[in-house]
Amino acid sequence: MNNDQSLTTTLGQFHLQNPFLLASAPPTASYEQIRRAFSVGWAGAVIKTIRPDGMVIEDVSPRFHAIKESSGEILGFENIELLSKKTVSYWTSQIPRLKQEFPNRLLVASIMGTPDPADWKSLASQVEEAGADAIEMNVSCPHGMPEQGVGAAIGQDPAMVRDLTRAVKDATEIPVIVKLTPNVTDILPIARAAAAGGADMISAINTVQCLSGIDLDTFEPLPSVAGYSTYGGYSGPAVKPIGLRMVSQIASSIDLPVIGIGGISGWRDAAEYLLAGASAVQVCTAVMWHGFGIVREMQSGLSSYLAGKGVSTPDQIRGLALGRLRSHQSLDRAARIRPSLSARTRCTSCGRCVIACRDGGYHAIALHDGNPEFDYSLCDGCSLCSQVCPESTIILSREG
């Protein structure tokens, strides 16, 4: 485990060994999994969502579908898995064990009840008594649970979010985190409702509702459950831009700590969330694909990055990108960039930049002796050529 003090992170009233937490998901579905995660260096974990014993949970098979690059690397991941199948008494017996073995790790109990505040109060009281450090209110699950009037069905209603947050706050003394759904037109009214209800922190985002694919031979939507499927929750690298946008909006507008979630596969992704205003991050899909051990590379990579920037803790880069976000109308129209080749020997003459500029740009590039040449009288500085270059040979510099 990395004990480098440069990764010590402040999350509200908590002081974490590093900013890396496990999200409420399959990797936190049991005592054994959380114990193993803590052993390899995760600073905290959010238990897979605990629900009232009367809320029946029956998962289907299969319940995952991945969208991959040709190399096999994950781009996006759909799941239609539901909440914890373990009883409340299981978790109230395992929380004390985990806290006794790992007293310095953050253990958050994710809970979900019906629209009846009494359900939420009961669960909150029980996990607090068991020794949980904080509560995360799951008002954001996008599949299965909304059909029962819970999950995102609650999280899309600001009044319900406010009232249920207030109910949980009234029932407990430990910090309350509200986990928000991205499946809304504007996340800020929901974040403000959580704050109005007394939330201590906000976590965002839960998965994005999706239909990840259709089998072209059978016409079955995926994942296919005996020939049928449903809309699921989308995660993985493809949702990071959505998560970054929403975390930055919340951090800019709400005076509460934010935990960033969505598409975090390595330390670079985590650093971007910190720069966007997050105090810590939660990870799920990358762990499901690569195991708990990825936290070691995340810790070492982030530690080296911070050292290179001359800062001593992740806290010092929190929100540094927020001041650079502006309205579209306020962006500088006079500024222009100019593309050029960084090294002609690296160019493979694939012609992608030529085709992209011809059909999606301004016909400002042509191949001469196997290398692209730029006609700056036609170039509009859109940057498309550099985006499609597979060798990252085309670089951009500011005019003047």
Supply 389's token pair. Answer: 């270059």
Query: What distance in Å separates the CA atoms of residue 62 and residue 120, rounded to the nearest whole number?
Result: 30
DSSP H helices, 279-376, are: 285-290, 294-309, 352-360
Query: What distance in Å separates the CA atoms of residue 247 and residue 273, rounded to the nearest whole number?
Result: 8
Q: For residues 318 and 278, is the Cβ–Cβ distance under 8 A?
A: yes
Supply 179's token pair. Answer: 């986990």
Q: For residues 23 and 261, is the Cβ–Cβ distance under 8 A?
A: yes
Supply 91's token pair. Answer: 């978790």
Catalytic residue among 141, 210, 347, 385: 141
Q: 3-class DSSP state for residue 169?
A: helix
Q: Is 350 an annotated catalytic residue?
A: no
Q: Which residue has the tokens 């809320």?
A: 55
CA-wise closest residue to 386 among 326, 345, 323, 342: 342
DSSP per-residue letters across 173-228: SS-EEEEPPS-SS-SHHHHHHHHHTT-SEEEE--PEEE---B-TTT--BSS-BTTB
Nearest-5° angle of CA 244, CA 38, CA 109?
65
* Residues 6 or more apart in contact with residue 123 via CB below 8 angstroms: 50, 51, 52, 88, 111, 112, 113
**Beta-bridge mates of residue 143:** none
Cα–Cα separations (whole angstroms), residue 159 to 47, 165, 172, 176: 26, 10, 20, 17
Q: Which residue has the tokens 């239909």?
A: 211
Residues identified as active-site: 141
